[in-house]
């Protein structure tokens, strides 16, 4: 039995998850409301399956073996995997829109309750946009196409605010990694970026906000959309660099920072200098600022090579070197995205239809955000760096035994000794209907 799921149930109860799901008409396709499962049962099946280490609809069906969870949630039986898949197909794209709004509302709720120091960097709330390719086998997956690496895949475009995944859309991948033209929505790996910024701007308008993206979002139309949304931003710019390189070659020596030696990415010592240049890419209404670095090996007579990062034009902004240093923090965001895919095993879409797979991935985002909320709101700060997999193994998968006595159902937890006090306080605060009879069993 997964006793730690009681913690997730408490977080979702505090948010009012089940009342909100029940009130969303798009999530209940039944014509006769007295037949079949309520929508909150389907939502609970997927969320609790993923937060206890499950990675498929079959694992959601296996929750029927968890008597403690069913008793806690007041659910007599979870639906089987065929019923869950059919529900996701029936709610379709309207259900996808409803789940996006629900996830956004949960992120806003969780963000407002977190210690600001736990979700900001230097006082700024960080947003991050990225796409990943979900490779699939066969041609039976709707929307799957050959990507730029020649593999059949789906494209998952995501927007993050702080540590939370606030929006996500699964679609067709791009034929090329960074198309120069706009492309059709769903065919461009950043096509949904402007739409996501518009839909989610309420999550960062109350804070100083910083935005990161990689070169897939470096087309002019995307920089224009980002520039109007955030107080500060940086976007990798390693395509269409010809005009910038020409400007750098023409730049007088006094505009470059003093030469300094540093270890470059190839492991060798390079001489580097930094500067700012201005350029108006196609699709931009006004010229943009680019931080530039030129470098060459310290030993030898090599030519200068250049790298660029597009950034916000600020009068009292950081130096070009600081722009590059801050932009490198994007790597932490990319690692968090990779951990989500690995820890919750989201490399395998469960359905053939694209709308159903979008529903599943949005519910996975909700499950991930619930775990993040539990960690950042209720756990001590020393546990905040923990990965989701670590949190599941150490906190959620604790054993619990169900006992029946005098016509009552009792759950007996076997919590680690170091967590006994935390569990007592957590259950007392969030689930006052639970009676703590004596000490929790320690192992």
Residue-wise pLDDT tens digits, 49-81: 999 888 889 999 999 988 778 887 888 999 999
Name the more confident of 76 and 418. Answer: 76
| Residue in this structure with the two tokens 């009676």, named with its chain if needed | 435
Name the more confident of 115 and 70. Answer: 115
Cα atoms in the Cβ-side hemisphere of radius 13 Å centred on 180: 5
Instruction: Return the pLDDT at 210.
Output: 96
Average pLDDT for 169-193? 62
Share of the chain above pLDDT 70, in %: 92
Name the more confident of 55 and 103. Answer: 103
| Distance in angstroms (rounded) separating the CA atoms of residues 439 and 115 | 30
Instruction: Return the pLDDT at 2.
Output: 67
The answer to whether residue 388 scores a pLDDT higher than 50 is yes
Instruction: Return the pLDDT at 236.
Output: 94
Residue-wise pLDDT tens digits, 260-274: 998 888 888 899 999
Instruction: Name the band, by pLDDT with cuts 50, 70 and 90, for residue 442.
Output: very low
Residue-wise pLDDT tens digits, 143-177: 888 777 778 889 899 999 999 999 999 988 765 44
On whether the CB atoms of residues 170 and 186 are closer than 8 A, the answer is no
Q: Which residues of 369-396 are buried (b: 16+ CB within 10 A; e: fewer)?
A: bbbbbbbbbbbeeebbebebeebbeebb
What mean pLDDT, rounded, does the chain reach?
Answer: 87
Nearest Cα neighbor of 367 from 95, 102, 79 is 102
The answer to whether residue 436 scores a pLDDT higher than 60 is no
Instruction: Return the pLDDT at 400.
Output: 72
| Distance in angstroms (rounded) separating the CA atoms of residues 350 and 56 | 7
Average pLDDT for 400-412? 73
Instruction: Return the pLDDT at 174.
Output: 64
Nearest Cα neighbor of 375 from 392, 362, 358, 360 is 392
pTM for this prediction? 0.88
Residue-wise pLDDT tens digits, 243-253: 999 999 999 98
The answer to whether residue 88 scores a pLDDT higher than 50 is yes
Nearest Cα neighbor of 340 from 293, 377, 372 is 372
| Residue in this structure with the two tokens 């490198």, named with its chain if needed | 328
Instruction: Return the pLDDT at 443.
Output: 36
The answer to whether residue 24 scores a pLDDT higher than 90 is yes
Q: Which of 82-91, 301-310, 387-396 has the lowest mean pLDDT?
A: 387-396
Name the more confident of 177 and 421. Answer: 421
Instruction: Return the pLDDT at 434.
Output: 54
The answer to whether residue 141 scores a pLDDT higher than 80 is yes
Cα 391 to chain center, whole Å? Answer: 17
Name the more confident of 300 and 360. Answer: 360
Instruction: Name the band, by pLDDT with cuts 50, 70 and 90, for residue 438.
Output: very low
Instruction: Return the pLDDT at 276.
Output: 95
Average pLDDT for 365-377? 95
Beta strands of 174-268 (E only): which ranges? 209-213, 232-237, 260-263
Residue-wise pLDDT tens digits, 191-211: 899 999 999 999 999 889 999
Instruction: Return the pLDDT at 144.
Output: 84
Average pLDDT for 106-110? 97
Average pLDDT for 171-185? 51
Nearest Cα neighbor of 227 from 239, 213, 216, 240 is 213
Instruction: Return the pLDDT at 280.
Output: 92
Q: Which two tokens stand for residue 344?
A: 């919750």
Share of the chain above pLDDT 90, in %: 54
């Amino acid at each position: 039995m997964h006793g730690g799921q009681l913690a997730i149930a408490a977080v979702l109860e505090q948010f009012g998850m089940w009342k909100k799901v029940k009130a969303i008409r798009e999530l209940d396709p039944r014509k006769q409301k007295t037949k079949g499962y309520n929508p909150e049962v389907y939502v609970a099946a997927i969320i609790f399956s993923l937060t206890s280490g499950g990675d498929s609809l079959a694992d959601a069906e296996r929750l029927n073996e968890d008597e403690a969870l069913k008793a806690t949630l007041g659910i007599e039986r979870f639906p089987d995997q065929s019923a869950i898949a059919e529900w996701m197909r029936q709610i379709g794209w309207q259900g996808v829109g409803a789940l996006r709004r629900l996830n956004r509302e949960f992120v806003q709720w969780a963000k407002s309750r977190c210690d600001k120091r736990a979700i900001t960097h230097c006082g700024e709330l960080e947003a991050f946009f990225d796409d990943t390719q979900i490779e699939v086998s066969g041609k039976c997956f709707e929307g799957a196409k050959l990507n730029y690496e020649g593999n059949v895949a789906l494209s998952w475009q995501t927007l993050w605010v702080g540590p939370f995944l606030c929006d996500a859309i699964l679609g067709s991948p791009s034929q090329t990694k960074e198309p120069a033209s706009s492309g059709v929505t769903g065919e461009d790996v950043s096509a949904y970026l402007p739409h996501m910024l518009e839909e989610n701007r309420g999550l960062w308008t109350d804070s100083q906000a910083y935005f990161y993206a990689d070169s897939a979002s470096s087309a002019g139309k995307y920089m224009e959309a980002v520039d109007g949304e955030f107080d500060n931003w940086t976007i990798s710019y390693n395509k269409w660099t010809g005009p910038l390189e020409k400007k750098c070659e023409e730049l007088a020596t006094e505009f470059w920072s003093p030469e300094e030696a540093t270890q470059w990415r190839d492991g060798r010592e390079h001489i580097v200098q930094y500067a700012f240049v201005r350029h108006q890419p196609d699709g931009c209404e006004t010229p943009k600022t680019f931080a530039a670095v030129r470098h060459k090996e310290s030993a030898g007579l090599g030519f200068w090579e250049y790298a660029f990062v597009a950034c916000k034009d600020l009068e009292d902004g950081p130096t070009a070197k600081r722009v590059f240093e801050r932009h490198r923090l994007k790597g932490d965001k990319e690692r968090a995205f990779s951990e989500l895919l690995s820890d919750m095993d989201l490399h395998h879409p469960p359905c053939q239809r694209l709308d159903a797979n979008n529903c599943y991935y949005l519910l996975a985002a909700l499950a991930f955000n619930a775990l993040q909320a539990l960690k950042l709101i209720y756990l001590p700060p020393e546990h905040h760096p923990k990965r989701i997999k670590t949190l599941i193994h150490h906190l959620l998968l604790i054993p619990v035994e169900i006992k029946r006595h005098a016509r009552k159902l009792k759950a007996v937890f076997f919590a680690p000794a170091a967590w006994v006090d935390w569990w007592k306080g957590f259950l007392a605060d969030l689930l006052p209907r639970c009676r703590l009879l004596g000490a929790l069993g320690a192992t």
